[in-house]
C-alpha cells in the first residue's frame, strides 16, 4: 500500500457531464491505498479461506484468469467482502480521485492533462482486448499504478445525480472533510440504488479513464470488467482471526526488575487533572464526550470477558486500558510486560489505589478477599493510607471510598475468585498464577495508575511516547464500551493511531 498524506484534493469537473459537476475541493485525512489492483492470486486466497465467493467469470473469460491480472467479475458486495477480509476497506470516491488526479493538482488523468494513449491507459481499442497484468501502466503522482483503464474499480460511495446544483445532488455529503457520499456510505441507502465505479476499463472508451468520470452501477452487477483495489485508514491492517489465535505465541517468561531508566520512561505519563472538570451527566446511561455517568463502575458489567482469552493469551507487550479490575484479567492473560490503566472517573482511579495497596500486601487471592472483611478492615485502611504517602491529596477521598465500598468489594472479589464453568482458568482472582503475575508487576512498578481521558491530548499521547521509548508494542488495548458512547473525535482517533501496535496487537 502507498501512504497518501493528508491534504486537499480536487473532485469533480465543471466542463463535463452533469454527473461530474461541479469541481470542488475536499479535505482528506491521511489514508493508505493499494499500489495495484487486486489480482486473481490475491482474490483466490480469499476464496480458499471460505470468506469470498468466486468471481463471476464468464465462459469466454479465460483471457482474464492469469494470476497477475486484476480480478474481474466482482459485484460491489464481493469487492467489499474481499477488502474486509484483507483487513482493509473500499476507498471513498474522494480518496480514489485524490490518488488518480494528483490531489490539489486536479489533473484529468493520473499522468496529467495529456490525452490518453495505449501506453498510458488500457481502454477500449487498446491491445490486448483483455486486462493487462497489474503494474503494466505508469504510476501516477502518488506512485499508484493502473488507475486509467484495465479493471473498472468499485468505490464505497452510493451514486448521486451530481455533486451540487441539480435534483438528487449529493450536497453536503460530498463536501468538507473526509466526505463519504450519500447516506455516509452506509450498507443501505434510501437516496440511491447504485454504487460508483471509477477509472474506466479495458472495454470502455478512453473518456471513462478520466479521473472525474463516475459510473453508477447496481451493487450486484459483476461483469467481466469490474474490479477493485482497497484502502485503509491505518498503517497497520486489522485482520481476522488475529495472529495470536492462528499462530499462538509461546508463554513469555516473567519480566525481570526494570532498570531505573525504564522506570523513568514508564512513569513519564502523568495524571491529567482536567478529569475533575468533566461534569456528571443528568441521567444514568448517558455518558458522552462531555459528561460521565452519575455513578461509578467499580465492577465491570461485561460478563463474558473470557471470550477474549484465545486472542490475547501470552501476547506480551504492553497493555493500555480503562476501567476497574477487569484490566487485571486481560493483563494477566496476555502476560503484559508493562500496563497503563487510566480512567476519567476519579472513583475508579481511587479504586485502583486501594487495589494496589491490598495486592502488595496479599500473597494469594484468598488473602485479597479477606483484606476486605470486617476483621481486617482497620488493617486494610492503614495499609491504603500508608501507600498514598506520595499522593496526600488523594488520601481522604480514597479512604472514604474504601469505607463505602469495602463490603461490596469483598463480595465481588469472592465471586470473581470462585470456580466458573464458563470462564474456566480465565480471571486474575480465579487463577492463582494470574494473580501472582499481577502481584509481580505491581511489586516491580510495572503497572501505572493514572487519571486520564481517552478524548484529550494528555495521557494517551504520553503513553504512546513512553511505549515507544521503552521499545514495547501495545499488544492489548481495552476501551470497554467507550466507542459506543462517544463520537470518534479527531483527537480520539489520533490518540489511538499514535500507539505503537504490531501484527499481534488486539483492540
Q: How is the beta sheet containing 474-478 ordered, strand by strand?
A: 447-451, 338-343, 318-322, 474-478
Cα–Cα dist 193/79, whole Å: 17
pLDDT of residue 435: 98
- The pLDDT tens digits for 32-83 are 999 999 999 999 999 998 889 999 766 566 688 899 999 999 999 999 999 9
CA 163 to chain CA centroid, Å, is: 30
- Where do the CATH 3.90.1580.10 domains begin and end in the chain? 2-232
Residue 407 near residue 376 (C-beta atoms within 8 A)? no
Task: Report the candidate in 231, 239, 233, 179 with the shortest Cα–Cα distance to residue 493.
Answer: 233
Short-list 345, 299, 335, 323, CA closest to 476: 335
Instruction: For 112-153, write each residue's pLDDT tens digit.
Output: 999 999 999 999 999 999 999 999 999 999 999 999 999 999
> CA end-to-end span of the chain, whole Å?
22
Q: What local confidence, expressed as pLDDT, does residue 240 receive?
A: 61
Q: What is the DSSP letter of 88?
A: -
pLDDT of residue 60: 61
Task: List pLDDT tens digits, range 214-227.
Answer: 999 999 987 778 99
Tell me what pLDDT residue 484 has: 58
- pLDDT band, very low/low/confident/very high, at 246 (cuts 50, 70, 90): low
Q: Residue 15's pLDDT is what? A: 81
Q: Which comes out higher in pLDDT, residue 210 or 51?
A: 210
Residue 59 neighbours by CB distance under 10 Å: 5
Is residue 224 within 8 Å of residue 58, measured between CB atoms? yes
**What CATH class has 2-232?**
alpha beta
Cell (9 digits) for 388: 498514598
Residue 266's CB is within 10 A of a number of other CB atoms, namely 23
Task: List, as one string, the DSSP characters of 4-71.
Answer: E-SEEEEES-SSS-GGGPPPEEEEE--EEE-SSPPBHHHHHHHHHTTSSPPP---TTGGGG-STTSBP
3-state SS, residue 73: coil
Residue 291 pairs with which residues in a beta bridge? Answer: 288
Tell whether the model's pLDDT for residue 485 goes beyond 60: no
382: how many CB neighbours lie within 10 A of its CB?
12
Q: What counts of helices (H) and strands (E) characterise the chain?
A: 15, 13
Distance from C-alpha of 192 to C-alpha of 345, rounded to nearest angstrom: 44
Out of 52-66, 267-281, 363-377, 396-410, pick the least confident.
Answer: 52-66
- pLDDT greater at residue 155 or residue 279: 155
Mean pLDDT value across the chain: 92
Q: Classify residue 50 as exposed, middle or buried by CB count within 10 Å of its CB (0-12, 13-18, 19+).
A: exposed
Please give the grid coordinates belonging to residue 148.
486509467
What's 200's DSSP letter?
A: -
Strand partners, 11: 24
Q: For residue 311, is pLDDT > 70?
A: yes
DSSP codes of every residue in 241-297 = S-HHHHSPPPPPPPPPPPPHHHHHHHTT----GGGGGSPBPSSTT--BTTBB-SS--
**Average confidence (pLDDT) over 413-420:** 95
Residue 325: band (very low, low, confident or very high) from pLDDT cuts 50, 70, 90 = very high
Q: Coil, helix or strand for 347?
A: helix
**Quick check: 18 and 165 in contact, CB under 8 A?**
no
Instruction: Give the separation between CA 170 and CA 36, rounded to whole angstroms.
Output: 29
pLDDT in tens, 420-460: 988 998 999 999 999 999 999 999 999 999 999 988 899 99
Q: How far is CA 194 from the centre of its chain?
A: 28
For the range 187-190, what are the long-range contacts, defined as Cβ-Cβ under 8 Å and sequence gap of 24 or more? 189/158
Region 2-14 average pLDDT = 96
Ranges 240-244, 265-269, 402-406: which has the least confidence = 240-244
pLDDT confidence bin for 280, thresholds 50/70/90: confident
Give the three-class secondary structure for 215: strand
DSSP code of 109? B
Grid cell digits, residue 274: 482536567
Strands 31-33 and 231-232: antiparallel
Amino acid at each position: 500500500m502507498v501512504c497518501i498524506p493528508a491534504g486537499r484534493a480536487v473532485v469533480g469537473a465543471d466542463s463535463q457531464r452533469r454527473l461530474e459537476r461541479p469541481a470542488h475541493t475536499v479535505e482528506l485525512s491521511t489514508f493508505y491505498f493499494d499500489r495495484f489492483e487486486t489480482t486473481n492470486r490475491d482474490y483466490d486466497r480469499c476464496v480458499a479461506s471460505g470468506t469470498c465467493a468466486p468471481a463471476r467469470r464468464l465462459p469466454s473469460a479465460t483471457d482474464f484468469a492469469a494470476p497477475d491480472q486484476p480480478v474481474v467479475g466482482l459485484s460491489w458486495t464481493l469487492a467489499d467482502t474481499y477488502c474486509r477480509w484483507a483487513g482493509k476497506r473500499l476507498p471513498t470516491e474522494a480518496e480514489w480521485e485524490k490518488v488518480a488526479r494528483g490531489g490539489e493538482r486536479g489533473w484529468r488523468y493520473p499522468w496529467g492533462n495529456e490525452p490518453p494513449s495505449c501506453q498510458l491507459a488500457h481502454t477500449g481499442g487498446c491491445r490486448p482486448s483483455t486486462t493487462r497484468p497489474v503494474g503494466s501502466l505508469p504510476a501516477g503522482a502518488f506512485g499508484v499504478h493502473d488507475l486509467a483503464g484495465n479493471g473498472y474499480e468499485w468505490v464505497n460511495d452510493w451514486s448521486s445525480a451530481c455533486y451540487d446544483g441539480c435534483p438528487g445532488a449529493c450536497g453536503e455529503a460530498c463536501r468538507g472533510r473526509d466526505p463519504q457520499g450519500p447516506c455516509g456510505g452506509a450498507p443501505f441507502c434510501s437516496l440511491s440504488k447504485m454504487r460508483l465505479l471509477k477509472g474506466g476499463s479495458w472495454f470502455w472508451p478512453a473518456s471513462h479513464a478520466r479521473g472525474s468520470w463516475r459510473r453508477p452501477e447496481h451493487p450486484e452487477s459483476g461483469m467481466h470488467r469490474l474490479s477493485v483495489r482497497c484502502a485503509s485508514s491505518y498503517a497497520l491492517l486489522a485482520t481476522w482471526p488475529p495472529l495470536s489465535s492462528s499462530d499462538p505465541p509461546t508463554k513469555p517468561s516473567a519480566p525481570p526488575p526494570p532498570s531505573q531508566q525504564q522506570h523513568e520512561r514508564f512513569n513519564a505519563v502523568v495524571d491529567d487533572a482536567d478529569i475533575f472538570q468533566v461534569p456528571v451527566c443528568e441521567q444514568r446511561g448517558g455518558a458522552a464526550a462531555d459528561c460521565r455517568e452519575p455513578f461509578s463502575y467499580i465492577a465491570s458489567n461485561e460478563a463474558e470477558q473470557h471470550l477474549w482469552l484465545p486472542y490475547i493469551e501470552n501476547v506480551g507487550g504492553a497493555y493500555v486500558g480503562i476501567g476497574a479490575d477487569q484490566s487485571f484479567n486481560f493483563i494477566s492473560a496476555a502476560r503484559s510486560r508493562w500496563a497503563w490503566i487510566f480512567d476519567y472517573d476519579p472513583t475508579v482511579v481511587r479504586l485502583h489505589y486501594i487495589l494496589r495497596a491490598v495486592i502488595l500486601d496479599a500473597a494469594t487471592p484468598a488473602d485479597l478477599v479477606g483484606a476486605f472483611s470486617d476483621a481486617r478492615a482497620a488493617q486494610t485502611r492503614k495499609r491504603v493510607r500508608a501507600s498514598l504517602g506520595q499522593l496526600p491529596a488523594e488520601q481522604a477521598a480514597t479512604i472514604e471510598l474504601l469505607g463505602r465500598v469495602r463490603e461490596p468489594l469483598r463480595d465481588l472479589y469472592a465471586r470473581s475468585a470462585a470456580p466458573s464453568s464458563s470462564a474456566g482458568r480465565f480471571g486474575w482472582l480465579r487463577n492463582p498464577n494470574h494473580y501472582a503475575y499481577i502481584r509481580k508487576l505491581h511489586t516491580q512498578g510495572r503497572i501505572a495508575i493514572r487519571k486520564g481521558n481517552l478524548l484529550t491530548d494528555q495521557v494517551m499521547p504520553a503513553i504512546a511516547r513512553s511505549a515507544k521509548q521503552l521499545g514495547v508494542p501495545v499488544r492489548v488495548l481495552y476501551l470497554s464500551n467507550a466507542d459506543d458512547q462517544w463520537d470518534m473525535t479527531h483527537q480520539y482517533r489520533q490518540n489511538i493511531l499514535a500507539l505503537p501496535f504490531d501484527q499481534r496487537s488486539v483492540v
